Structure 1
Amino acid sequence: MVRPVLFLLVERRWSGYEHIPAEGEFVAAANHISHFDPLTFGYFLYRGGRPPRMLAKASLFDIPFVGAMLRRTGQIPVHRGTADAASALRSAVEEVGNGECVAIYPEGTITRDPGLWPMTARTGAARIALTTNAPVIPVAQWGPQRIVPPYARGGRGDRRVWPAPRQTVHVVAGPPVDLSRHMGKPLTPDVLRDATEDIMAAITALLAGIRQEQPPAQRHTHRRPENEPAS
């Protein structure tokens, strides 16, 4: 179902499939720059032979048809800012334990960095990986923001969707993030923060290679408030 949409809108520049495990559990962690990039991220993994179990906002499961497809394909709802948020991580750990690919945006939302570089992330991806000893495959994306701009609000002159011409979208997977120095340690806030930064550093390095630019020396820390609409 996604393929025709991507064919119409996307000129693919995808690489790094040699890093996607052919079998067994792993966590795929990507940067988030557009409401469109879950399609490219998910389909990239699907094309690599590993249909993902993606962590997605619970509100998406309430949308007719979209919610049904998310449920039927085994995606994992995340109830932000509630006690149920922890259940998403438990579900993700279970899926990893079943040998699945769990796909996650460590930032938890579209980046607020003015240059669209990865910002400070939440610790969910690190927690899943360190709990299960599953490898983390970093994935960087660039180009979806030209199809659906981040945080577009539909005002005058604001392009919410750019259907033509087809936009070049880069999606690149890298080798597993080396988390060996964190393995076997208690999952303290410091350990989780350090492991999370290792994951984000790997994603940022891949993105810098795509963009051929130097990322900021300091990671952006401002997050969208939970009650602020994302679009």
Structure 2
Amino acid sequence: MRSDRTYRVVVRIIGGIFRVLGVRFTVRGGEHLPRTGGAVVASNHISFIDFTVVGYAARDRGRLVRFMSKTSVFEVPVVGRLMRAMGHIPVDRWTGASAYRRARRLLAHGEVVGVFPEATISRSWRVKRLKPGAAGLALSRDVPLVPCVLWGAHRILTVDGRRSLRRGIPVTVLLGEPLVPRADETADELTDRLHEAMSTLLAEAVDAYPDVPRDDADRWWVPHDRGGTAPDVETAAALDREALRRIGAPGD
């Protein structure tokens, strides 16, 4: 399948870029991603490169994750063409039903669908309130919902002009035990379980992270309640609403 060939080439290229940057990857819990069959991977969202990190981490399981991503990404020259060739799913804010149907078809054919249920990057670096789409997909096809968290990727490229090409930045990827939909469980109930699982994984990732800020100016990537200068959850939510207002998008 053409998209698979393109995807594998892109993964190799991304791997080469990560090696040039000396990114120090730690992936734990990879065994929780099924080697075969449909599954939904739900990840936190802290940087502009999150989908490349999750996709790169999934390579050891031989899986190609088809990510649901906002339509604007597909409108970027070259990037959009690659995204389509790799089989990713454009999501329009106003007509998301077609993307949802496509994701369900992929799950029915044994694919892995990647979702960022926070919808936008978390400026607090904490797990935000989750939208129920990931849980709804898992329920609709009775497939495992795999919680995933990233930590460190935000130090490479994220919102508000934060970026760094410094070599040797550690990036952690943790995958948790799959959440199997229970009988008569609603999407909201499964979403609550997902939020709890992701929050627990994120705490583990932060606790085990091998780097500390170099100085006070470098504390921006550390959560507020861990002594960093990232905005607290309430302030971050206000910043998110302002950012959405500037682009004319609907808020939560």
| TM-score normalised to structure 2 length | 0.77
The equivalent residue for 1:156 is none
| TM-score normalised to structure 1 length | 0.83
Deviations 1:154-201 (A, max 9, x none): xxxxxx321112200000111112431xx335xxxxx32221111111
**In the aligned structure 1, how far is the partner of 2:155 from the partner of 2:113?**
26
1:41-52 paired onto structure 2 within 5 Å: 41-52=54-65
8 A Cα contact 1:35 1:148, kept in partner: yes
**In the aligned structure 2, how far is the partner of 1:228 from the partner of 1:109?**
14
The equivalent residue for 2:203 is 208
8 A Cα contact 1:42 1:52, kept in partner: yes
- In the alignment, structure 1 residue 87 sits paired with structure 2 residue 98: yes
Shift of 1:215: 10
Assess, with a 3 A threshold, how the Cα gap between structure 1 residues 204 and 2 changes in structure 2: closer, same or farther.
same
**In the aligned structure 2, how far is the partner of 1:222 from the partner of 1:89?**
26
What letter corresponds to residue 181 of structure 2 in structure 1?
A: L
Q: Paired residue for 1:152, among 160, 173, 194?
A: 160
The equivalent residue for 2:173 is 171
Q: Paired residue for 1:199, among 194, 197, 218?
A: 194
Shift of 1:227: 4.3
C-alpha RMSD of matched pairs (Å) = 2.3
The equivalent residue for 2:130 is 121
1:26-105 paired onto structure 2 within 5 Å: 26-80=39-93, 82=94, 84-105=95-116
8 A Cα contact 2:142 2:181, kept in partner: no
**In the aligned structure 2, how far is the partner of 1:117 from the partner of 1:7?**
28
8 A Cα contact 1:53 1:75, kept in partner: yes
- In the alignment, structure 1 residue 140 sits paired with structure 2 residue 149: yes
Greater per-residue helix proportion: 2
8 A Cα contact 1:46 1:52, kept in partner: no
**In the aligned structure 1, how far is the partner of 2:246 from the partner of 2:74?**
19
Q: Paired residue for 2:18, among 6, 17, 21?
A: 6
Deviates more, 1:86-95 or 1:24-33: 86-95
Q: Which has the higher contact order (CA 8 A, sep 6+)?
A: 1
Q: Which runs of 5+ in 1 are unaligned?
A: 154-159, 186-190
What letter corresponds to residue 209 of structure 1 in structure 2?
A: E
Deviations 1:126-174 (A, max 9, x none): 110111101011111100011113x224xxxxxx321112200000111
Q: Which runs of 5+ in 2 are unaligned?
A: 1-12, 209-222, 226-232, 248-252
Tell me the number of residue pairs that the alignment of Structure 1 and Structure 2 aligns.
210
Shift of 1:105: 0.5
Q: Paired residue for 1:110, among 108, 121, 128?
A: 121
Shift of 1:89: 1.1
**In the aligned structure 1, how far is the partner of 2:103 from the partner of 2:245?**
25
The equivalent residue for 1:130 is 139
